[in-house]
Amino acid sequence: MSKDYGYLRVAAARNITVPAGVSKNCNSIISQMKQSSGMECDICVFPELSISSYNCGELFRQRLLLDAVNKALIEIVNVSNELKGIFIVGFPLAEKGILFNCAAVITRGEILGIVPKTFIPGNNEYYEGRWFTAAYGNTIKDVVIDNKRIPFGTDIIFSNADRKIETFGIEICEDLWAPVPPSSFLTLNGAAVIFNLSASTDIIGKASYRKNLVRSQSASTISAYIYSSAGVGESTTDTVCSGHSLIFENGRLMAENNRFTRNTSLIFSDIDLDYLNHERLNNSTYSQSSQIYSPKKDYRTIFYRRKSIKNNHLERKIYPYPFVPASVDDLDDRCREIFNIQSTALSTRLTNSSINSAVIGLSGGLDSTLALLVVIESFRDLELDLNNIHCITMPGFGTTVRTKGNVEKICFQLGISLETIDIEAAVLQHFNDIGHNKEIHDITYENAQARERTQILMDKANQYNSLVIGTGDLSELALGWCTYNGDHMSMYSVNSGVPKTLVKFLIDYYSKYVATGEISEILTDIIMTPISPELLPPGKNDEIIQKTEETIGPYELHDFFLFNAVRCGFSPDKVFFLAGIAFKEKYASKEISKWLKLFYKRFFSQQFKRSAIPDGPKVGTLSLSPRGDWRMPSDADSSDWVF
């Protein structure tokens, strides 16, 4: 990557530790420092007390051990001058008659700062508290190592002087288990990344608890959390260590190692600092918490300049379908949840409106089919008569036998009435009224059909005392791919929070787990039907000529653009960069660039449609509702976004 897109390559190393084997531990640390540097890692963290080992017992009070640790630390510092990146190692430090459990932050041949452990488990008779002192009451502000004065304390945040978003803090093992971990305050004072040096022992169930704890802290603090715990070499007497390493980003697992192995381990991932910063700016709870709690403690910022690392590739998976879970089980759960959200929302609207009837226009396409399935689930939930679902299909100039046939089949199989109203004569009359040549297949030709259909649905709703159920999806709203006051309008829009790439999976889920027999076959054919508004005449063999994705581009690309540009707040060049990685096997850079420019142009120019959309349930974290989620001026200038 020649440009800084906001990534930070972090690593969690597990060295081979021998209790009190300082020389061996030091050699193992140096070996992994070189490995981390070779992998272009920006910051690498080692386990708690990794130089001495955690399980030294009374040996922590031996001058020989402490002197050996000091010598090893200086050796590690000297080696760092030849390597790229920052290294965080654990060691015991005796200062003014007090023994602290510490982390040293090392780069370019110097120790930037030393952070002691805030909370010590046990007391002065048992466990760690027998040897170490908790740092929460510490007043020491600096220490001297190798004749150099070094900042010391739990009130330290490290920040890259050349890169404002690169800030990190440190806590050690037990600190995370506290009711209010130090990392909560560190992050509220600006730290985007937390490194935890640990020597957590293992018992049944603890690994999953530990993992959930790290995940939760990463999510609640909107941070990246890198956790490195001591390996099996620390297993001694009555305790066993597994060497658990974890990397989380805002609650999302980025990397995890194998536990209970006897070799070294180094996991790494590229953390998106740009994304974390966007999430914090977008989260009012974070900013409010920062104002309430951050003044309670003054933090010192230690600025650093590390050797520049230019990574040529991204060490994180860029999934091309951000709205669609990769796991089959997760996808099924997601689909089930979305159906529940959509149908519950519609049930509530029907109940509060004292209406027990719905009107829906069916085209035989994906969106109207999904809307119909949602209506059915809602009616079943309310125990309403399915005969009160009034399905209307309105064939026009572009309707094909395939789509019309699927509408007829699905309604017949579901036992729902279907009314067919041909709109050709009405539209031709309208062309005559406004003086439009029917042979000119322009935007007037197309939109007149869409508005005629909407007029019919609205009037039918008046006849039946019903709600008109909208069918348009989130992707169409983003692109403005709808006719203003045509399919753009309804009385309740159940699909407005569902992106196009997810619609087919929802229908497929219904086909597999809810529908039976021939209904499943019909739904499968609908999924396979090309996406089209069917407003232009079909081909000679009744094939669909007007294919939406040939005009505006692949929806899989637009949904990727939408997620990264709106949900993550990324710049156009970063969206382009990520799309190039995600779709490198499918689309050339030139094609991605073409559709990305179109996406931004349409997203900006079509805001006026989104400013006037009907109510609809929010399904995921991204919504374009002008009332609750996306407020944007209709006349915003897109020139800085169309690169």
Catalytic residue positions, numbered: 48, 117, 173
Tally of residues, the chain: 643
CA-nearest of 283, 255, 252 to 269 is 255
Interatomic CA distance for residues 120 and 210, integer angstroms? 18
Burial class (CB in 10 A: 0-12, 13-18, 19+), 356: middle
DSSP class per residue in 102-162: EEEEEETTEEEEEEE-S--SS-SSSGGGGT---STT----EEEETTEEEEBSSSEEEEETT
Strand blocks (E) in 592-633: none
Burial class (CB in 10 A: 0-12, 13-18, 19+), 199: buried
Answer for the pair 547, 530: CB distance below 8 angstroms, yes or no: yes
Interatomic CA distance for residues 626 and 615, integer angstroms? 10
For the chain, state the CA radius of gyration. 31
Interatomic CA distance for residues 503 and 357, integer angstroms? 24
Q: Is residue 9 within a helix (H) or strand (E), and if so which, with residue range?
A: strand 7-14
What percent of the residues of the chain are helix, what percent strand, and what percent coil, each to the nearest 5? 40, 20, 40
CA-nearest of 447, 484, 500 to 606 is 484
CA-nearest of 8, 355, 49, 33 to 174 is 49
Query: Which residues is 304 bridged to in the sheet?
Result: 160
Interatomic CA distance for residues 274 and 224, integer angstroms? 12
CA angle 212, 213, 218 (to 5 degrees): 95
Q: Is residue 67 within a helix (H) or strand (E), and if so which, with residue range?
A: helix 63-80
Answer for the pair 507, 529: CB distance below 8 angstroms, yes or no: no
Q: Give one word for 222, left, alpha or beta, with left for phi > 0 and alpha for psi -120 to 50.
A: left
Residue that is written with structure tokens 């899989």 in the block: 556
DSSP 3-state of 222: coil
